[in-house]
Amino acid sequence: MEDKNIFNSIKELEKGIVRKIMSETSHDEMFSKPSIAQMQIIKYILKHDGKTIYQRDLEEVFNLRRATISGILKTMEKNNVIIRVCDPNDARGKIVILSDDAKKFFKEKETLFKKLETVLKKDISKEELETFYKVILKMRDNINRKD
């Protein structure tokens, strides 16, 4: 049995997911290579539509450092995916809003994401999925643990 590496396996899965999305999306749409982090942020904002979402909320939700989130959001802003505005009540706070173009684009792509979820789950039993989710959560907890 060949040596298995968790990090490389996760990275390969991520690359495969991005390639699949890109193969189903024309390259002149929205942005050419969204990262998994960007797609997760967009999904989070869409799911919480109507609520005010601050940059610091995204740091907490995705367990990312301020500089990391700031860099991701800067790229998204450059690609007209999001708009960051100062909180009128606290100039230090940045509110993150999806651009109208991004909302339209991702609403249209919702079917693609559901299809991709189906492809990922193909030939995997409910029990295997439950085990997968348990293992992923344990790995996340392990990596976040401050020993």
Q: What number of H helices and E strands is found in the chain?
A: 7, 2
Q: Tell me: the pLDDT tens digits for 10-41?
A: 888 888 887 887 777 765 555 556 677 888 89
Q: Tell me: the pLDDT tens digits for 31-71?
A: 556 677 888 898 899 889 889 999 999 999 998 999 999 99
Which residues contact residue 88 at a Cβ distance below 8 angstroms, ignoring those fewer than 6 apart? Answer: none
Q: Are 96 and 54 in contact (CB under 8 A)?
A: yes
Residue 57 CB neighbours (<10 A): 18
- Any idea how long the chain is? 147
Structure tokens at 118: 């189906």
Amino acid at 50: G
Taking CB atoms within 8 Å and a gap of at least 24, the contacts of 83-92 are: 84/55, 87/54
C-alpha dihedral sign at 99, 104, 108, 110: positive
Residue 133: per-residue pLDDT: 94
Q: What's the chain's average pLDDT?
A: 86
Amino acid at 6: I
pTM above 0.85, yes or no: no
CATH of domain 6-144: 1.10.10.10
- The domain ranges of the chain are 6-144
CA pair distance 113, 37, nearest whole angstrom: 15
